[in-house]
Each structure stands twice: as C-alpha cells, then as structure tokens.
Structure 1
Amino acid sequence: MPQIRAPDLKLRAYILLFLLIFGLMPLILAALINLPLVLDRTALFYQRAYLQNLRADFRDLDQHLASRHELIRFLAKLPEPGLILGARGESGQIDLARARYTTWINQILADQRDVIQILFFDAEGQERFWLVRDARTQEWRPTAQPPQLPNRQFLDAGLQSQPGAVMVSRIRIDPQAGVEDPRRLMTLNLVSLIGGEPGNSAQGAVVLTIDVGGLAQFYRNTLWVNHDGSYLRPGQPASGQPEAFETFPGLAAIFSEGKLALWKNEQGRQMLWVPMFLTEDGFPLWVGRVVDPSPLDAFRNELIVRVLSIIALLVLAVMVLARWIAARVEHFGHELLGGIQHILHDGEPLRFSWRGPRELRELGERLTELAATHAEHLRVARAHTRELEQSNRYKSQFLANVSHELRTPLNSILLLSKMLGAEDNGLNPIQRRQAQVIHEAGRDLRALIDDILDISRIESGRLSLNPEPVELRPMLEDLIELFSPQLADKPVELILRLMPGAPDSLQTDRDKLRQILKNFLANAIKFTERGEVRVEVGTRPESDRPLMLSVIDTGIGIPPDKQEIIFEAFQQADGSTRRRYGGTGLGLAISRELATLLGGVIEVESTPGLGSRFSLLLPLALSPDTGASVPETRFESVPLTPGPLEAIEGVGTEVEDGTEPLSGPGTPWVLIIERDVKTLVQLTSELSRRGLRVQTAADLDEALETLREEGEGCALILLAVSGSTETTCDTIQTLLIETSWPHPVVAVMVNPGSDPRLADCPRGGEVARLNKPVAPEALTALLVQVLGQATSALPGPLLDERPRTSAPGHATERT
C-alpha cells in the first residue's frame, strides 16, 4: 500500500540506528577513548626508550666513577708521607718523601686525566698536602696556594665514614673557576678515610676531584643546561646567560616542574629533557637530547588508518545487515499494517497465516481472533451509532415541534394575561395582580421553551449564520442600557471598559454574539448582590482568536469542580443556586454552542465568594464557509396610493364582540416580527379588531418557519428594526425570497429619531415606514393600500374565524 511506505523508511532508519547504537557505538566509543591513550602510551614508551639510551650512555660514566673508587681506596692505603711521619719526621725528610711521592703519582696517574686534584686532610679536617694536575703539561705538582676545597659538610661526612668506603659528592658548578680553568667548570669529589682499621685511629682522608665536564665531552648531540637556563659546555667557559630558554620556548616551564618531559615546537622538532644530576646548590643539572619523531609518527598514522578502516568495514557490514533485516521487517510490516488497516477501515475479519517461529505463528492466530472480534464489535457499534443518530434526530424534531405547539396556547395566555393586567380593563387590583402572576409565569415558561428550541435548532443544524460588520462599542452600550434597569434595586455598578489596543469592530453574526453576551450579563447580574459587573473588551496577541470579550462580576463565584458542568444542558452549580436564583441551566449550554458556531471558545475563571470572569474568544472575521449565504433576488417596493377605507370590506371598521376575523384558503394575513410585548399587544389588538388574522415571530428564523408553515397569503409583514441598516436590508431580502409571488408588502417600524437609511439597500428599498408607537391612523392607511391590492383577487365571501395570535418573541401558531 502506498500509504505504508513512509513508515517503512522510518523503520529502516530505526533498525540502522539501533544497530549502530548497540552494535558499533560501543566499539567506536572504545576506539575514540582508547586510541588517544594508546598513542600517548606509545609516545611515552618511545620517550622512555630514548631515556634508556641516554642512561645507557651515562652508564659508562658510572663505571668510570666506579674505577675511581678503587683508585681512591688505593691512595687511602698509601697516603702522602707527611701523614705517616707526622710530628716525628724532620722537615727535610718529609719534603724528600713528598717529592718521591709526587714522582710516584705522576707514574701511576699519568693516564687518568679526568682526575685533576688530590688533597690529603688530617683527622681534624685540615689540609696537609695537595697535588694538582697541570692543565698544559698534565704533570702532578704541589702548589703554593691550596686548591679548590671540597664542601665542608661533605668532608666531615667522609671523616666519619667507615674505612674502605667511598663517598661521592654532588656535581659542583663553578662558572668563575671555569673561566680560569675550564676543567673546574663542572666537577665532583670522591672521599675515602685513611686508616681507621680496628685498633688504629683514622689518620685523615684523601679527596679526589674529577673533571666531569671533561668526561661529558665524549657524549655527542647532548646539551647540558643549568637550572637557570645557561649552557654548560664542557671544556669551555660558562656564559652565565639563559640562552637555553631563548632557544627552546617553554623550557623554563619544564624546568620548573622538575620532571622528565618532551619539548617540541611547531616545526616538529623534539627534545627529551632529563634532570640527570643534582648540583651542590640543590638544583638539578638538565641533559637534553634530540628525539627523532618520524618512527612514532609513522606508527601513529598507521594505527589511525587501521582503526578507521576497521570501523568503516564494520559500518558497511552493519548497513548491509540492517538492510536485510529491514527488508524482512518491511515485508512483515506490510502484511501487519495492511491487515490492520483493512480491519479498521472495512470492518471485515482477516486471517493472518504466518510461518516461522512458534511465537510468530501464535501472534498470527491471536490477531486473527482479534480481527474477528473487532469486526463484530464494529458492526454492532455502527448499528448502535445509526440508532443513536436517528434517535437524536427524532429528539430534535420532537423538541422543535413540541416547543412550537406549546407556544400556540402560551401566546394566547400571555396576550390575554397582559390585556387583563392592564389598568383600564375593569378588574379590581387583586384580579389584575393574579393576571400579572399568570403573565409572569407564562413568560418564564416561554423562556424555557425558547431555550429548548434554540438547543434543538443547534443540534439539528438548522441554525444559520449571517456574518456582518459589527461595531463593538455601540452594541455593548446597547446591552449596558438594556440591563441597567435590572440593577436599579441593587448596589451593583454596570461598567463598560475597552482596553488599549482592542479592535473597534469584527465580522461575525451580530444576533448570535448579542445572545452570548446577554446570557453572560444575565448570569452576572443574577448572581451578584453588590459590587460591580464589568464588560471588558481586550486582546490576546499571537492567537487565532485575538478578540476577548469578558463579563466580570463580584458575585458568588463557581467552585472549580463545577466550572465544567455549568455548560451542560439543565445544569447549574448546585441545587440551592437554582432554588434561590432560578433559571433553567440552558443559557451557558446555548452560549457554548453558539460560540463554537462563531469560531470561538469560552473560558471561565472563578473563585467562590470573589466572583467570576466569563471570556469569549473570537476571531476578527468569521470563516467564509461558516456563515449562511442568502441568494440574491430582486424585490420591488409597493407604491402606497391613497384611497378610502370604506373601499375594502372588513378593513377600517371595528368588529363587533363575538365576530371572527377573516379566514379561509387564500385569505390574506399579517406577520408581525417584534420582540417588544407592548408593541406586539397593540398591533395584534388593532389588527384583530379589523378582522385580520395575525401571526407573530420573535426573529428571522421564526418568521421564515411561519412563512413555510402558513403557506401563501401573507399580504403584509410588519418588521421591527433591531439592528444595523445592512442587517435590516438582509432580513427584508430573505423574507421576500421565502415568499412566493406576489411578494408581501414589508413595512418597517422604527423608533423616533432613528434613521436606518433603508433606501440604500441593494436591489430594493424601504416599502413603508411606521414610527413607534404605531398610530392607529397610520396603520389603517397602510392596510388600505396593502389589502386594497391583496383582496381584489379574492374569490367569494371571506369566512370568519376567531383570532389566534402568538406571544411576542416566540414562534407562531399553526392553522
């Protein structure tokens, strides 16, 4: 199936990702973590190899010093004669013996040129005799001045040592002595005790001075650097300048750490630096040797190439494996998803016959059973849904029919109770009050019937929308003026507030919007005993419903657990609220449905005891496919021409008590569209007295319903102006479209001082205009003109029938 390919591609990617994460990722992470460690370890081993070579080179120095141990032990056994003769010897005899001793030293130490000085000390550490090798002739001879003396602490330690033991001092760096004699630049001393065998006391000590710098001349490609960065060039005077730090940037930091380190620069040159010896001043003497990094670089490159090659081969293998696994899973997914889609969409059972492992076969059997069960449940659910839809249609039709039929007698009750409650009807005050009670009870019943009818219309989809430009401020000011009288006996202030940035107008159904806000205001006023009720216009930026119309009160509030059920039909916060404040519980349910039709939502914020905020969020323009459209049709105004009232039978003359209004097939009748009870009672009374049959409607929907049910014969429509000019023009056009030819005459009733400018209506205009309250003379003149034309074609006498009217603001009667 084509619709399954996108999930298949995702499945392949998931399989590949899974294998990479759980298969290759540990290996890749191990390589990334361990490869730098391996390379560092390899470099360390390479450096240690260089260090071993360096130490192997200096091992010859150690062996050479070991041979000098034997030499100093030999001299300790055959010391200079002065120490042997001591105070017993004569001066001449001692000098002669020392001369012979010097000759003997020249003979046995002729080849040991690294030994440059021999000193003999007595037991108290005083120098007794010394021999110095001449730098030019290499012969041993005594000097007039004592030579360079060893460190006193080192000498004292030698005098305290065991017979036959040899102690080696630290290297002495003496740049000043090196200037005069390069052999004394870098030296060390060996000391051994003279005498001290059991039974004999020590006679003194012999000290040999070794030219280490001379020995260091034999180590090629090796640099000797003092701790201050000055070079020590064996056989040459010391410069005393930190030349090494300038030659090797960063070397000072290496010396400060005092550890073996590898120095390298940007050009790839590498030097291994080792703190090889300690000097007498406590600082190390550094030895540096050039390191050839090419073998290590070749090894590193080879290792990286091999690791990357292995990873690439493994990735390729995983991708091939993932493709093979994905192909198998895709085939399985095709069957599974296709079968499930077939079951869900078509509701038919399907058998899954899969071969393979036992688990897969069992899965196929379970899915087969599930498919059969689902198909049966889906069949039952669809049948039940059809029954529910049919029942809902029956319910909506029943509510519409019952509410319409109930209003027929109720309209008469309202009209008669209104007339009985008037002061000029001859009843006493008690009887008038009883009539008023009947009228109030009937009005409450009418409100309930109207709400039920609205709910049924919404549920049956018979409620149409008429989008039009709506100016917010005038509409809200009208609502404020409408509800202000209800607050005359309450310490409650009714306020209108427009927030900065709020829009001035929107495109929506004006009547539906007014109905929602009227329900909000009615509830707020009903449940607020003191404080204020505020109508607020604000905005909610960055929203598809930027307009926010809120009604805020300081009333009893709504508990949080009740803020959802109040939008259900016949529901209020609790029973006590209904008993105390009344109401049917349908207002908010209707408001929510109307808000949905207008493309909006309702939000509630409330705190018990502090008040509530009901907000209606709306788009600034109603969607074009939401509003109801009315076909364009031409209609013409009926010219009003004067004529005598007596020219029309039954019109203009009062009907005697007990006579019936004109009725019968094709008899002309009058439709009044008005919500005001007072005006409706007046017009119905005037028309009934003239023997005319009257039907009433509260709005356009009821008027269209009445025209459809009553059939032909409507000669006059009295329309009360309740909206803008455009709304009135659309209402007139819709009424004329609903009626057959000849169209009835439409007369609009306007309040004094208002100018709806109905002459500007497209494709038609104002038929007639009556000012409220309608004067009997003006009504009579209109009836003469209208019914004079309508009755001219009536066949035969008209039948009599008692007047039947409907209450104001509700659906009309059936005849």
Structure 2
Amino acid sequence: MKLRVYILLFLLVFGLTPLILALLINLPLVLDRTTLFYQRAYLQNLRADFRDLDQHLASRHEMIRLLSKLPEPGLILGEQGDADQIDLSRARYTTWINQIFADQRDVIQILFVGDDAQERFWLVRDSRSQEWRPTAKTPQTPNRQFLSAGLELQPGGVLVSRIRIDPAAGADDPRQLMTLNLVSPIGGEKAEDARGAVTLTLDVGGLAQFYRDTLWVNQDGSYLRPNQPASGKPEAFDAFPGLAKIFADGNLALWKGPRGHQMLWLPMFLTEDGLPLWVGREVDPSPIDAFRNELMIRVLSIIFLLVVAVLVLARWIARRAEHFGKELTGGIGHILRDGRPLHFSWSGPREIHELGEQLTTLAETHAEHLRAAQAHARELEKSNRYKSQFLTNVSHELRTPLNSILLLSKMLAAETGGLNAGQRRQAQVIHEAGRDLRTMIDNILDISQIEAGHVKVALDWVELRPMLSELIELVGPLLTGKPVELNLTIDPRAVSRLYTDRDKLRQILKNFLSNAAKFTDRGQVVVMVEARADARRPVAISVVDTGIGIPQDKQSIIFEAFQQADGSTRRRYGGTGLGLSISRELAALLGGRIDVESAPGAGARFSLLLPLSAANGQAPEPVLTHDAPPSVASDDVVFEPRTEIVAESGILPGDPWVLIIERDVKTLIQLASDLTRRGLRVQTAADLDEALETLQEEGEGCELVLLAARMSAASTCDTIQSLLQRTQGPHPAVAVLGEPGTESQIEGCLGVGAVDFLSKPIDADRLSLLLADVFPDKFVAQATGVSLVASTAAGSPHDPSSEPTNQQAPARREFVETNG
C-alpha cells in the first residue's frame, strides 16, 4: 500500500472520528430532548384544559359562600321557629335557589347539616326538569370526616373534597358516578347564632364530557365515561398493552403503540380511596417525526459536506506528503547509489527547512565517507589481489622444488637408491619434512579458496563402511608404538550410504582421526556411525578418543584458523591449526555441522552431523571441485601453479614447447626430464585453468599438449575441446595420458583434436613416434611398427581447416585443495 493511501486513511479517520463520535453521542440526546419538550408541550396543553376546571371550581367557591350566608339559618336548619315557619322559610329558599342556580347544571345537590354533622335540609336537582326540590329520600352524604373538617372552618372558608367514584349510585343516576363536594360553614359571628355547614355536590363526570379527546381511567383500568354507568372491567389495559405497568409506576408517561400511536397519561386527580384517577390524551407524533427527519437530513448533509471537505484536504496533504517522501527517498537513493552530494532545498515550516539543511550536510558527509570507503575497498581489493598473486607465486615457487624434493628423497630413501642405512634415514627425514611442508601449503591454499567461495561439491553415493575402513587403515600407522586401540562401530539403525562429496567427507574425518591419533597416548580411538532423531541431519559420524581433552572455554577457538586449544600443544604435537577450520567450512558445504564434546583429561568427541543428501543441505552454490582426482571432468579441474622445466642447454626462448597437464608427480617428472633431454622447452600445469593461463602468458609456440585422462571419456573430450577453443593462434596437438586398458577414451576424442594415447608408465619409443609426428623438423620417427594416431585422425592439429572456432575466455585463478 502506498504512503499516500496511509496518509489519506489516517487523515480521514482522525478528521472524521471526532465528528462522528460527537454526532453519535449528541444526536440521540437532542432527539430525546426534543421529544421530551414536545411531550411537555402536550402536558401543558392538557393542564391548561384542566385549568378551566380549576377556575370553574373557584366560581363554585363563591357560590357556596353565598349559600352559607343564610338570612335565617335557624329556620333553614330547623333549629328555630315552629314547623310552619320552617317549612315556609325552606319553600322560599327553594324558590330562590331555582331562580339563582337554574343554569348551573353541574351542581346536582345542596345539603345543609347541623353542627352535629347531621342532615337537616337538602335540595336535589331533578335530572329531567332540572328544578330544585327537596326529596323524601336521604341524599348522598359526603364523608363524615370531610363534614367535620368543614364545620371547623372559619366563616367564609371553603373545603374541597377528593373525587368520589360511586359505581352503585352511578348505575341509578349517572350524575352520581363521579362527584366532587364543597363545604363551607354557615352561621353568624355571635355565639347564640345557629351553627352548621352547607355542601355542594358537583357532577365532575358531567364536566368531563367537555374534554372530548380525553380518556378517564380508574387505577384498575376501567373507563369513566361521562353520564354513563361504569363497567368495572379493565378495558383500558386491554386497549393499551403495557398501560398497567405505567399505572403501577404512578408517574407521567408516554405510551407508544403500533403504527406510531402515542398516548400521554397523567395521574390528574386523587379519589376518596386514595387511588389516582388517570387522564389520557392522544399525542400526534407526526410533527416530532417530521422534525426528526428534517434534523437527520440536515445532519447527514452537513456530515457529507464535511467528509468531502476532509477528503479533499486529506488528498491534498497526502499528495504533498507523498511528493515530499518521493523527493526524500529519491534523493537518499541517489546519494547511496551515486555517492554524490545532493542539495535539499525545501520551503515551508522552519523544521522542514532545517531538515533539508541537515540532510544536505549528511549527504555531503556520506559522499566523503563513501569516497573514502571506495578508496579503501580498492586498496583492499588490490591487497587481496596481491595476496592471491603472492599465494600463487609462493605455491609455484614452493611446489616445483618441493615435488622434486619429495620424489628424489623418496627415491634416495629406497633400498635400491644406492645409499647406506644412515643416508637413507636422512633422505627419509627429508621426505617426511617435505610432506609436512606440502600439507601446510595445501591447508593454506584450502582455507584461502574456501574463504573466496571457490569450492564446488561433487555429489555421489558414498558407502560409509568401506570408506571408514579405508580411513582406519590409513591412520593406523600413526598409532604404531602407542597402547591405543582403533575401532569402528556402526549403529544398525544408521544408513549405510550418503549422497555427498566423498573427498570432502574423507578429508573431514581424516582430520578428526589425525587429531585423535596425535593427542591420544593411551586408551582407544573409536569411529562411530549413529542414527539421530533430527530429520534435518539424521546421521552422526563421530570420532571419540581418550586423549588430553579440550577445556570448555577453548572449544570455540579451535575452529579458527591457525588456532589450537593451547600454544604448548602446538609446540609439543605440531600442526598448523588449520585442519579443524577447514573441516568446519567443508562440513557447511555438505549441509552439516560439527559438534564438540570434551573435557580436560577426559578425551574428546568430534561429531560430524550430516543430512542424507548434501543436495538438500545449506551449502552455497558451488563453483569449483575441491581436491579433484586426476580423472575429474574439465569443469572440475583445480588450479595449481604451473611448473616450468627448461633445458639446460640448446633450448631458445622462441623454440616450440610442450605443455604437460598432469597431477601425478612421478609421471610429471619423468615426462619433463625426458622431453628436456630431447631439447624441448616444457611447461607444466595441474588443471585446465592453469593451462589456459600458461598458454596466454607464454604466447604462441605450443605444439604439443600432454593431457592426463579425466574420469570419463566424455570429460576428457570436453577438456580437450575447451582447451582448443580458448587457445589463440594455431592449435597444438593433444595426446592423452592414461592408465593401460583405457585406450578407448581416445576414440571419442579424435574429432575434437586428440592425436594419440600414451599409456602409463610412458613408453619412450611411443613418445618418440609422437614427437616425430608433431615435430617432423626436429625428430625422425624410427621404424618401430607403431602407427601414429595422428595419421588417421580426422584432421591434423596444424591444419587450419580442422581447427575449431576460437572463442576467447578469460583465465580464472582459483585456489582449491591439492594433494601434490
């Protein structure tokens, strides 16, 4: 994902997240508060409607005060005068009431009680004629406590009772279903004046019929319908599911039904039973819904506009940041690639400007350091090249005389050398010292080549038991004269063979055995092959000895070049300290590793842990075969500095010369001596690369190449073809040197430049015939009856028409293991 996308997402998230959170937190609150305000508006409207009822009750207060100011209260109450006077006074009062209260239809009863709260006189409005008249039946009497409280009032005081709900009375007279009583004391200020109280009974149900959109419901859920008898059934609870819970809570609440139906319920009045009388009014939610929808549309519109604005701003910032990042990374990449200083000139905030100046300074410093590092690298490369050239020259200068010393000392130490016993012993000492010197040179070249990465593995199936038995026989003489047993133990569960490089495996184990034989004076040395549970390296080949052992803190340095556990061991036991270092590198090439277990005085155990196939290991891509035998393919030959043998007399630098490519010292010395005696200039090489280098340095004039046979006929032919294709000028003749019985190798190489096959040891007559064919002006072939292969070859090496295409290829100098 690009940087622009990250920045864009970052700005969008952090720019819009606070807005969205504020919206999610506040919008529901705003909607709830708006709904609450709307409900309160309905509540205020409902209370405003019932405020008219309060004003009506207030007018009734004045009416009952008027009634309480009787001119003759004693006659009305029946406490003064005779019966005729009382009846006459009550009749006049009734007439007056009919005149005064004719249109006050809500007043349905007037009751006068004495100071003992007993009924004395009452008037009831007829439901049909609406006239006031006394009745024989005792009227509905208010609550005695209410009457007693009214009698205790001061003159002019009015007391209002709670609403009475009387379904039984309402069944006979619907006006009596829901009533309200007012009481006020009557009588004068003097003590002898008659005392009592007057009560008015109001038909609240009749008043309620004026509120057409209002429902009156008892606490039990039954409806109170004006001027209708009560049913006594919880009809409201059935009509409004959940209303019972609202009534149980006893608070103002909004009931919501299906399809947006809403009712506002309020406990408006209290009855004489102490239960609330609920008033319900339908609420129209359409205005608040319209308001909510409009608010949501506006909010979403604002959010959309803000999102667009943030998106545009974020895109602009992201582009600026991406441009800044590209300029920064491009400039740094330019500095790292080219090593040239770059000036960062950025405008904008002070921090960005300072960053540009610091990067410019850093670029200049880096360029200076890079130039210095490159110069140092060139010096190191030059030093490394000098080291390589030095090793090459030293190898050339040391190996040539050293091989001669080894060969001649071996010949002198033989019983047929013509020397006495003491002289033979001295020759043997010379031979052993030369072998040690050659081993040290080989180790130095080995470690140099491994460090340079010029080692290639040649994989093949290796039978473990025969190879280990051969190694034990080879190392056995080292333990001669020591009370040390040398044994081989193979776990039956272990595999019998591995797909690996035989030579490198052999070299590692030979180092282990040599060290064990060197540092073990008594006890035993055991070679063990074991199976491991590790799927990556299931095979362990160990060499266990009972020697001097290695301290724990020294076990890591023994694998470093030129290091031993103790300097005194080198003085006592000898050695260069390169064996284990080389073994560790070779083990890595084979996909394995080396483990060490040891303690001072308890011996040591060196274990080589290997995979079943080195092809599956962690070895790097190989380059060149290490310690190749004389019969390896042309691509697997190794480099060894060439040996030049010049005739002592009669040979001029411009004369034709012979190149010998051979690793066997005995054959090399025999051929070089023979050819030198015949007056030919001789150059030697150990492999194809060295041969090509020799041909390039010496120039033209090489007429004959004596090539040691490779492992197979195809490899030999490939080597010949590679040699001739990379040779400038006229191509030399090529003769193959091989073991007797391998003459068939030459048959497949006739078409690529081979002219003859010489069996080892080289027959002098056969060599003479070859030289006579290649150098006709210098040698004459004797009639030996041996036919020359050159005469039957597909073309002469000196025939330009038979030469293969000349392809130039630079010679390679690679250092690998050689055994001299």
Give the TM-score normalised by structure 1: 0.61
**1:224-281, Cα deviation, whole Å (9 max, x unpaired):** 3334443332222333333334433444444444443334445333333333333444
Q: Give the aligned partner of residue 812 of structure 1.
A: 819
Aligned partners of 1:76 and 1:199: how far apart in 2?
A: 16
Runs of 5+ unmatched residues, structure 1: 1-5, 540-545, 638-664, 674-683, 694-700, 720-727, 750-758, 765-781, 798-808
Q: Give the aligned partner of residue 45 of structure 2.
A: 53
Q: Give the aligned partner of residue 36 of structure 1.
A: 28
Q: Of 735, 738, 741, which aligns to 1:742? A: 735
Contact 2:115 2:196 in 1 (8 A): yes
Secondary structure in 2 matching 1:743: strand
Amino acid aligned to 1:110: A
Contact 1:163 1:194 in 2 (8 A): yes
Aligned partners of 2:22 and 2:501: how far apart in 1?
A: 69
How many angstroms does 1:42 deviate by? Answer: 2.1
Q: Give the aligned partner of residue 58 of structure 2.
A: 66
Aligned partners of 1:229 and 1:304: how far apart in 2?
A: 38
How many angstroms does 1:716 deviate by? Answer: 6.7
Q: Which has the larger radius of gyration?
A: 2
Find out whether 1:291 has 2:283 as its counterpart: yes
Q: Percent identity?
A: 58
**1:272-319, Cα deviation, whole Å (9 max, x unpaired):** 333333344444433332333333333333333333333334444445
Aligned partners of 2:192 and 2:508: how far apart in 1?
A: 129
Amino acid aligned to 1:144: K
Matches within 5 A, 1:150-161: 150=143, 152=145, 158=150
Aligned partners of 2:569 and 2:118: how far apart in 1?
A: 123
Q: Give the aligned partner of residue 223 of structure 2.
A: 231
How many angstroms does 1:361 deviate by? Answer: 6.1
Aligned partners of 1:151 and 1:414: how far apart in 2?
A: 149
Find out whether 1:141 has 2:148 as its counterpart: no
Amino acid aligned to 2:818: A
Aligned partners of 2:658 and 2:213: how far apart in 1?
A: 133
Matches within 5 A, 1:618-767: 621=616, 626=621, 741-745=734-738
Task: Provide closer, same or farther for how the CA distance between residues 167 and 324 of structure 1 changes in structure 2, counting only shifts above 3 A.
Answer: same
**1:682-707, Cα deviation, whole Å (9 max, x unpaired):** xx99x99xx999xxxxxxx9988899
Contact 1:123 1:205 in 2 (8 A): yes
Find out whether 1:536 has 2:532 as its counterpart: yes
Contact 1:519 1:591 in 2 (8 A): yes
Contact 1:227 1:255 in 2 (8 A): yes
Task: Provide closer, same or farther for how the CA distance between residues 636 and 372 of structure 1 changes in structure 2, counting only shifts above 3 A.
Answer: closer
Amino acid aligned to 1:389: E
**1:66-113, Cα deviation, whole Å (9 max, x unpaired):** 222333444445499689867777777766665665555444433333
**1:752-799, Cα deviation, whole Å (9 max, x unpaired):** xxxxxxx9xxx99xxxxxxxxxxxxxxxxx9579999678647899xx
Task: Provide closer, same or farther for how the CA distance between residues 166 and 585 of structure 1 changes in structure 2, counting only shifts above 3 A.
Answer: farther
Find out whether 1:348 has 2:344 as its counterpart: no
Find out whether 1:383 has 2:375 as its counterpart: yes
Q: Of 178, 189, 201, which aligns to 1:186? A: 178
Contact 2:443 2:817 in 1 (8 A): no
**1:382-412, Cα deviation, whole Å (9 max, x unpaired):** 1112222333444466567768988899999
Contact 1:80 1:129 in 2 (8 A): no
Task: Provide closer, same or farther for how the CA distance between residues 350 and 789 of structure 1 changes in structure 2, counting only shifts above 3 A.
Answer: same
How many angstroms does 1:219 deviate by? Answer: 1.0
Amino acid aligned to 1:811: T
Amino acid aligned to 1:136: R
Contact 1:273 1:289 in 2 (8 A): yes
Q: Give the aligned partner of residue 209 of structure 2.
A: 217
Task: Provide closer, same or farther for how the CA distance between residues 269 and 714 of structure 1 changes in structure 2, counting only shifts above 3 A.
Answer: same
How many angstroms does 1:51 deviate by? Answer: 1.7
Task: Provide closer, same or farther for how the CA distance between residues 718 and 33 of structure 1 changes in structure 2, counting only shifts above 3 A.
Answer: closer
Aligned partners of 1:37 and 1:497: how far apart in 2?
A: 83
Q: Of 97, 108, 112, which aligns to 1:116? A: 108
Aligned partners of 1:62 and 1:668: how far apart in 2?
A: 138
Aligned partners of 1:790 and 1:95: how far apart in 2?
A: 182
Q: Give the aligned partner of residue 794 of structure 2.
A: none
Aligned partners of 1:578 and 1:91: how far apart in 2?
A: 159
More moved, 366-375 vs 232-241? 366-375
Amino acid aligned to 1:65: L
Task: Provide closer, same or farther for how the CA distance between residues 205 and 447 of structure 1 changes in structure 2, counting only shifts above 3 A.
Answer: farther
Contact 2:442 2:819 in 1 (8 A): no
Q: Of 300, 323, 326, which aligns to 2:292? A: 300
How many angstroms does 1:142 deviate by? Answer: 3.6
Contact 1:446 1:810 in 2 (8 A): no
Q: Give the aligned partner of residue 463 of structure 1.
A: 455
Contact 1:496 1:536 in 2 (8 A): no
Aligned partners of 2:274 and 2:470: how far apart in 1?
A: 104
Aligned partners of 2:92 and 2:301: how far apart in 1?
A: 80
Q: Give the aligned partner of residue 163 of structure 2.
A: 171
Task: Provide closer, same or farther for how the CA distance between residues 515 and 288 of structure 1 changes in structure 2, counting only shifts above 3 A.
Answer: farther
Secondary structure in 1 matching 2:260: coil
How many angstroms does 1:217 deviate by? Answer: 0.9
Aligned partners of 1:196 and 1:787: how far apart in 2?
A: 177
Aligned partners of 2:558 and 2:346: how far apart in 1?
A: 54
Task: Provide closer, same or farther for how the CA distance between residues 509 and 130 of structure 1 changes in structure 2, counting only shifts above 3 A.
Answer: farther
Secondary structure in 1 matching 2:269: strand
Matches within 5 A, 1:478-489: none
Task: Provide closer, same or farther for how the CA distance between residues 460 and 232 of structure 1 changes in structure 2, counting only shifts above 3 A.
Answer: same
Secondary structure in 2 matching 1:288: strand
Amino acid aligned to 1:812: N
Task: Provide closer, same or farther for how the CA distance between residues 378 and 70 of structure 1 changes in structure 2, counting only shifts above 3 A.
Answer: same
Contact 2:76 2:89 in 1 (8 A): no
Give the TM-score normalised by structure 2: 0.60
Aligned partners of 2:90 and 2:571: how far apart in 1?
A: 141
Contact 2:594 2:606 in 1 (8 A): no
Aligned partners of 1:133 and 1:557: how far apart in 2?
A: 130
Task: Provide closer, same or farther for how the CA distance between residues 312 and 787 of structure 1 changes in structure 2, counting only shifts above 3 A.
Answer: farther
Q: Give the aligned partner of residue 259 of structure 2.
A: 267
Amino acid aligned to 1:626: E
How many angstroms does 1:339 deviate by? Answer: 4.2
Task: Provide closer, same or farther for how the CA distance between residues 483 and 305 of structure 1 changes in structure 2, counting only shifts above 3 A.
Answer: farther
Secondary structure in 1 matching 2:341: coil
Secondary structure in 1 matching 2:212: coil
Indicate the RMSD between aligned Cα atoms, in angstroms.
7.0
**1:13-44, Cα deviation, whole Å (9 max, x unpaired):** 56655654565554454344333332332222
How many angstroms does 1:46 deviate by? Answer: 1.9
Amino acid aligned to 2:370: L
Q: Give the aligned partner of residue 800 of structure 2.
A: none
